[in-house]
Amino acid sequence: MGKDRVLSGMRPTGLMHIGHFHGALKNWVALQAQHECFYFVADWHALTSHYDDPRVIERSTFDMVTDWLAAGLDPQQATIFLQSQMPQHAELTLLLGMITPLGWLERVPTYKEQQENLKEKDLTTYGFLGYPLMQAADILVYRAQHVPVGEDQVSHLEITREIARRFNHIYGREPGFEANAAAAVKKLGGKAGKRYEALRTSYQQDGVAEAVDEAKALLAAAGSLSAAERERLEAWITGARRTILPEPHALLTPTSKIIGLDGRKMSKSYGNAIDLREPPASVEKKVRRMPTDPARVHRHDPGNPERCPVWTLHQVYSSEKTREWVWQGCTSAGIGCLECKQPLIDAINAELAPMQARIAEIEAKPGYVHDVLASGCARARQVAEDTMRDVREAMGLAKP
């Protein structure tokens, strides 16, 4: 058996920050050795909400892939590619649109939420409503088993599973299945054929489970059938259909969420992020400016780390020993906040230094990222095309 296939994507809407690293990228890197991983730049997805920002998408695409590689993604192990170079995603989005009820899309929670959050943008577009459908196509076109995502994407995985189920239900039969099955019954011969029909009725109308076993034994004993015919009749008795698009599973990213500098979720749109490319002096400045427990107005006021965004960063970056020192020092007013922040500044800079060195190396090789994406696209295309052949055939699209 081959390795399980993993697929995930990220929207190129700005530079990668430490929230992306701890919330997703680190996990992508960990998965690449054990699984067949496909990671892509979701530039069409970025356009659904940032359609008036094309230059940002263009620039972010190459910077983002550079950051992925610097964070440890290995193009020898993982397939790294660009969504907009893959017409199969668009084709599958179109075809799945035929069977996706509008209500399914309208009730995805992120649809209303995002429209609320991004009030300054007009998101009453067809593309924005179709976002989860396009995401379903991204996943199903690779028949991926696992999709590493954060909590916020779970509803998109759910609709992906529903769409796959509906697709298999409607199209999971070979063309002419009924006629072929009837022909195979005839080939079984008068007596065996009649018995098969009786068993099929007894299973389908009365749910007699033993009828399936008896029919299988009967088919196994029948010398007149080819293997394909036998398989077809085994499937026909239960009404089973072919699984053309398997249902994927969410692989919830385990790491805790990195909190932004202002205590909200870290996000480039809130301007509260530390980028992977952040120079050390800027890391220092940003962390030193971070708000702390509001109760610590003066140096001698004790604080409560639970009410301090700096503490959430210590939980990701600091050893148990340092965390004990913080807890003790904070609650007893034994240390000041700037003192508390110093080990954090050092830890973040220590984590970023090798990545920034790799970014410089990659950027010194012009064309390198282009080449990584081009060969990733070529590899991804083979898998996607395999799926599309089955999908087109199942949906009655003739090959001239």
Give the interface with ligand TRP as residue ranges (CB under 6 A).
Answer: 7-11, 42, 45, 135, 138-139, 147, 149, 153
Taking CB under 6 A as the rule, does residue 67 contact ligand SF4?
A: no
CA distances to 35, 76, 146, 338, 339 from 3, rounded to whole Å, are 5, 15, 11, 48, 48
Min separation Cβ 328 and ligand TRP, Å: 39
Q: Does 340 bind ligand SF4 (CB under 6 A)?
A: yes
Partner interacting with residue 310 (select from ligand SF4, ligand TRP, none; CB below 5-8 Å by kind): ligand SF4
- Note whether 398 and 99 are within 8 A (CB): no
The residue (of 269 and 315) whose beta carbon lies closer to ligand SF4 is 315
330 binds, among ligand SF4, ligand TRP, none (CB under 5 to 8 A by kind): ligand SF4
Sheet holding 249-252, edge to edge: 79-82, 36-41, 5-10, 146-149, 249-252
- DSSP string computed for 121-189: S---SHHHHTHHHHHHHHHHTTT-SEEEE-GGGHHHHHHHHHHHHHHHHHH-S-TTHHHHHHHHHHHH-
Closer residue to ligand TRP in complex, CB, 13/292: 13
Among ligand SF4, ligand TRP, none, partner that 139 touches (CB below 5 to 8 angstroms by kind): ligand TRP
**Cα 239 to Cα 27, 207, 232, 243, distances in angstroms:** 40, 12, 10, 13
Q: Are 312 and 272 in contact (CB under 8 A)?
A: no
Interface of this chain with ligand SF4, residues 121 to 160, rule: CB under 6 A: none
- # binding residues, ligand SF4 (CB under 6 A): 14
Residue 135 contact, options ligand SF4, ligand TRP, none, Cβ 5-8 Å cut-off depending on partner type: ligand TRP
**Type of residue found at 66:** T
- Of these partners, ligand TRP, ligand SF4, none, which one is at the site of residue 9 (CB under 5 to 8 Å by kind)? ligand TRP
Cβ of residue 330: shortest distance to ligand SF4, in angstroms?
Answer: 3
Task: Enter the tokens of residue 338.
Answer: 């700037």
Counting contacts by CB under 6 A, is residue 292 touching ligand SF4? yes
CA dihedral of 349, 354, 357, 363, whole degrees rounded to 10:
-110
Beta carbon of residue 272, minimum distance to ligand TRP (angstroms, whole number): 18
Piece of the chain touching ligand SF4 by CB under 6 A; list 107-115, 192-200, 302-310, 369-377: 302-310
Please state the closest distance from residue 339 (CB atom) to ligand SF4, in A.
Answer: 7
Among 38, 68, 128, 311, binds ligand SF4 (CB under 6 A): 311
**Three-state DSSP state, 312:** helix
Residue 340's binding partner among ligand TRP, ligand SF4, none (Cβ under 5 to 8 angstroms by kind) is ligand SF4
The amino acid occupying position 84 is S
Q: How many CA atoms lie within 13 A of 294 on its CB side?
A: 2
Task: Please give the sequence-ordered ranges of beta strands (E in DSSP) within 169-326, or none if there are none.
Answer: 249-252
Pick the closer one to ligand SF4 by CB: 47 or 308.
Answer: 308
What residue ranges bind ligand SF4 (CB under 6 A)? 292-293, 296, 303, 305, 308, 310-311, 326, 330, 335, 337, 340-341
